[in-house]
Chain A
Amino acid sequence: MEALDLARWQFGVTTVYHFLFVPLTIGLGVFVAGLQTAWHRTGKEHYLRLTKFFGKLFLINFAMGVVTGIVQEFQFGMNWSEYSVFVGDVFGAPLALEALLAFFLESTFIGLWIFGWDKLPKRVHLATIWAAVIGSNLSAYFILAANAWMKHPVGYEVVDGRARMTDLWAVLTNSTALAQVPHVVAGAFIVAGAFVLAVCGYNILKERRADPDRTVPMRRGPGSTTSIWHTPMRAALVMTAIAGVVSAGTGDLSGKLVYEQQPMKLAAAEGLERDTAGAAFSPVPGIEVPMLLSFLATNDPDAVVRGTEDLQAEFAKKFGPGDYRPNVPVVYASFRVMITFGMATAGLSVLGLWLTRRRRTPLAPGGHPAPRGPVRRRRRAAGVPREIPSWFARACLLALPLPTLAMIAGWLLSEIGRQPWTVQGELLTAASVSPGVSLTEVAVSLAVFTILYGLLAVAEAVLLVRYVKAGPEQASPTPPAPAAGSGDGDTTAVMLQPTLMY
Chain B
Amino acid sequence: MELTTVWFTVIAFLWTGFFVLEGFDFGVGMLAPVLSRGEAERRQVLGTIGPVWDGNEVWLITAVGAMFAAFPAWYAGLLSEFYLPIVLVLVGLIVRGVGLEWRGKVHHASDRAWCDMGILVGSALPAFLWGAVFADLLHDSVTAMLVGGVFSVSLCLLHGAVFVALKTLGPVRARARRTALVTSAVALPAGVAALSGIPSAGTAAAGAATPVWIWALALAATAALAAGAALTWRGRDGWAFTATASSIALTGTALFGALWPAPLPGLTLAEAASGPYTLQTLTWIGLVALPFVVGYQIWSYWVFRRRLVAEPS
Contact = CB atoms under 8 A, between A and B. Distances in A.
A316 interface: no
Given A71-B90, A71-B94, A111 B51 contact: yes
A120 interface: yes
A502 B43 CA distance: 10
Contact of A88 (B57, B58, B75): B75
B286 A100 contact: yes
A94 to B, nearest CB: 8
A107 B58 contact: yes
Nearest to A142: B65
Given A77-B76, A437-B80, A89 B54 contact: no
B105 A60 contact: yes
A349 interface: no
A68 interface: yes
B84 A441 contact: yes
A436 B81 contact: yes
B58 A111 contact: no
B83 A164 contact: no
Contacts of A56: 105
A96 B91 CA distance: 22
A436 B274 contact: no
B80 A436 contact: yes
A434 B82 CA distance: 12
Interface stretch (B34-42, B136-144, B146-154, B275-283): B275-283
B277 A96 contact: no
Contact of A63 (B75, B98, B296, B297): B98
A484 to B, nearest CB: 31
A164 B107 CA distance: 52
Contacts of B84: 441, 444-445
Nearest to A102: B58
A463 interface: yes
Interface string B68-98: 1111110111111101101100110111011
A70 B94 contact: yes
Contacts of A437: 80, 83
Given A70-B61, A78-B86, A463-B102, A111 B97 contact: no
B72 A88 contact: yes
A119 B53 CA distance: 18
A56, A99, A459, A463 interface centre (most CB from chain B within 10 Å): A99
A92 B73 contact: no
Interface string A126-167: 000000000000000000000000000000000100101110
Contacts of B66: 96, 99-100
Given A63-B97, A67-B93, A77-B79, A467 B50 contact: no
Interface residues of A, number: 74
B289 interface: yes
A235 interface: no
B55 interface: yes
Nearest to A63: B101
Contacts of B83: 78, 434, 437, 441, 445
A468 interface: no
A95 interface: yes
A465 B75 CA distance: 40
Contact of B290 (A78, A100, A105): A100
Contacts of B206: none
Given A74-B86, A164-B278, A445-B87, A96 B68 contact: yes
B233 interface: no
B54 A110 contact: yes
B274 A165 contact: yes
B6 to A, nearest CB: 14
A92 B76 CA distance: 11
Contacts of A114: 50-51
B285 interface: yes
Contacts of B76: 76-77, 80-82, 84-85, 88, 434
A227 interface: no
* From A66, A116, A500, residue with most partner B Cβ within 10 Å: A66
B289 A84 contact: no
A444 B274 contact: no
Interface of A: 56, 59-60, 62-64, 66-68, 70-71, 73-74, 76-82, 84-93, 95-101, 103-105, 107-112, 114-116, 119-120, 159, 162, 164-166, 168, 434, 436-437, 441, 444-445, 448-449, 452, 456, 459, 463, 466-467, 500-502
Q: Which 4 A-B pairs have the closest CB atoms?
A: A88-B72, A77-B79, A92-B69, A63-B101
22 contacts: A56-B105, A70-B93, A76-B68, A77-B78, A81-B80, A92-B274, A96-B282, A98-B65, A99-B62, A99-B66, A104-B55, A115-B51, A115-B304, A166-B277, A168-B278, A445-B83, A445-B84, A445-B87, A452-B91, A456-B94, A463-B106, A500-B104
Interface of B: 47, 50-55, 57-58, 60-62, 64-66, 68-73, 75-81, 83-84, 86-87, 90-91, 93-95, 97-98, 100-102, 104-107, 274-275, 277-278, 281-282, 285-286, 289-290, 293, 296-297, 300, 303-304
